[in-house]
Chain A
Amino acid sequence: MADFYTLGLTYWRVIALTVLVLGVWIYGLYFMFKKWGMGSTGYQDELRHSFWLFIATWIHQAFKDGVWVFVKTLVLDILLLRRTLRRSPVRWVMHMTIFYGFITLAALSGFGLLLDTIIHFNILGYAHQAEVIFDMMALPFDIFGYMLLLGSTIGVGRRIILREVRARTSAYDAVLLGGVFLITITGFYAQWMRGNSFLVGDAFAYPIYAPHFALVHTILALALFAIILPWSKYQHLIAAPMTILANRGGE
């Protein structure tokens, strides 16, 4: 665990960096919602320029047909991506694997940071147990990592192989997919360098540089997912599900 803190970083510096990134991320979300709040709350209504009235308008629209429709839309169209499945099973696999791979890895990373905090302060004397649990997380990290790798490979492959899709790909798309792919690949390589990876074992083991590379991966992940989210195509992670919910599943 302690290997992670390299290149002059300490636990406190990582925590400070995380808080800073979270702060930027939260401000980004606020900025994004405020931008959406430029609009009106109804047809022909006056402009509001209000963060809170955007939230109120969204809630009003999302629950217009009742809670049951909201829940049904949440499960079928957000969690199971029904609309995507209807149009393209390949894109559905891509989205599902990226979505669940990313969400789970993010959750595991957050949980890992919590365990690290317990280990660091030996909270309630559970440092040892936390270390054991932390070691057990290698397998789920691998599984969901491969899931993310599959999805991002489909995403990148689709943009490269399909002529028409490739022709219409812009920097806006490339930043998103390239970012996901880069984070996934660096994550895997960081794991392989540690030498105890699922599937490849120690074929790529390079323990001296493993902590450095893990740090590079972490900073990339924080930068790409947190900092640029509200100002790039990453914003569809929030805007698309909220749109589907606001339109009660869409047309």
Chain B
Amino acid sequence: MADAGKEKKPLVSGYLMSTQFMELDGCTRCQECMKWCPTFDVRQDRPGITPMYKIAKFRELLGSQDGLRAKLFGSKPLNEDEINIWKDDTYMCTTCGVCGTVCESGINTVELWEAMRPNLVARGNGPYGKQSFFPGLLGKDRNPFQAKQSERLCWVPEDATVLESEKIAYFAGCTAAYRQQALGVATVRLMNSLDIPFCMLGEDEWCCASALIRTGQRPVMRDHAVHNVDALKERGVETVLFACAGCLRAATIDWPRWYEGYIPYKTMPLSAYLREKVRSGDVDWKRPLDFKVTYHDPCHNGRHLMHVKGRDWSFEAPRDILKSIPGVQFQDMTRSREFQRCCGAGGGVKAGIPDLALDCAKARLDDADLIAADIIASTCPFCRRNIMDGRAALTEKSDVKIVDVVEMMAAAMGLDTTIPDNPYMQYQEQDVIVCEEVCEIETIERKAEGKDLVGEAH
């Protein structure tokens, strides 16, 4: 009787394109996705989180409302418990996209998951846990760290040259600006040493808002996309460089969907740009980095963009840089490039289901341990952060370090990447390369407790 008169919420499917409805019926249930899914790999007791089961459940729910039987005899009442389990399953996914890569039916799974989630949000079931803070944080602070926009460039060394406007722009992203400033400093130093004039948006750089899209919370996205595109256009930018895979993905695929005007610039991974400098002989290596290095392909720069930017930019450019650094002994992990294992942080999992993110990170560390790597290099601050967190959560200590490709390059070029004193020094947490006689890697752990409401956001 408690439910008497209470209106039952209908199933919402309005964010799906018609071809995505078709994709639901295109699944052949070959189970290939289950072999590759990084979250299922660490949650074997939850087959429901795998693509095959998620699709089957959604198809079943849709069928109960719009199938032939529903048309003839009326739709079945929805079971809220079932919907909530399906919601959990849908959010226990990093949207890494490996399922789409191996799918026999060629289902574009990333887009499908990202179209399912807004329906759950619209229905009041989603998002998951702390993911619900994202719209408020971004709407208010324009970044997920509750940091001041006016301090976006507080880490830039005084003697560094960053222009107000230029044809090339460096979009640093929130993590490099507030939490992994070593990456930002290394990038600026490197660009200066190679005599590349570039600008940054500073206070006008708003979060790429990737987390909103990934978690199905679309409304605030438009503001961020439109603002960032306009800010880049106003500065006359022709090429935007990204050292953050999540920002690159959002700027390349998501922003244009929300921006109605012409976008005159092209987006480019910083690694691809710097590789050209290495190839042209502009880079002067000063020191060897005597480490065994492997490369972790970020999903956002790899699988998500390989058909947009090409495999060369997505997979080979960072590897080529690493291989060109003197002293580096490079070896790929068993799962690499389009078959790479996701670090576990994406799709809002880091914020919403942190223990799942950590378990995925541990699995990735195991991959690196198998080849006895000293360093996991990457081009995504978010992957870096999560793999470091996974390392910290290991019961047996791991000596594997996690460093950005740009920082390795800066170290081998003998650049000073000291972070100038700034209000966010106490929140830095990263492995940094320290070079004196020889180069070593130190882990900075100065993170203040309880500062980040939702961790980082992609």
**What is A's interface to B at a CB cutoff of 8 Å?**
31-32, 35-45, 47-48, 53-54, 57-58, 61, 77, 81, 83-84, 87-88, 91, 164-165, 168, 170, 172-173, 231, 233, 235-236, 239-240, 242-244, 246-247, 249-251
Contacts and interface: CB of A to CB of B under 8 A. Distances in A.
B59 to A, nearest CB: 9
B376 interface: no
Given A39-B20, A91-B30, A239-B26, 4 more contacts: A35-B66, A38-B66, A240-B104, A244-B105
Contact of B22 (A36, A91, A172, A251): A36
B108 A247 contact: yes
B18 A250 contact: no
B301 interface: no
A164 B108 contact: no
23 contacts: A35-B62, A36-B22, A39-B17, A48-B18, A54-B22, A61-B19, A84-B30, A87-B32, A87-B104, A165-B31, A168-B52, A172-B29, A240-B28, A243-B26, A243-B106, A244-B26, A244-B105, A246-B19, A247-B108, A250-B100, A250-B105, A251-B97, A251-B109
B103 interface: yes
B106 A77 contact: yes
Interface in B86-114: 97, 100-109
Contacts, number: 135
Given A173-B29, A236-B26, A242-B22, A251 B100 contact: yes
A91 B104 contact: yes
Given A32-B25, A236-B25, A251-B303, A84 B104 contact: yes
B252 interface: no
The size bracket of the interface on B is 35 or more
A175 B42 CA distance: 31
A244 B19 contact: no
B257 interface: yes
Contacts of B307: 251
B19 A36 contact: yes
Contacts of B34: 168
A8 B34 CA distance: 51
B193 interface: no
Interface centre among A42, A57, A239, A242 (most CB of B within 10 A): A239
Contact of A243 (B13, B29, B67, B105): B105
Contact of A88 (B32, B67, B101): B32
A72 B19 CA distance: 20
A148 B155 CA distance: 67
Ranked 7 nearest A-B pairs via Cβ: A250-B106, A39-B18, A243-B26, A239-B25, A239-B26, A244-B106, A36-B21
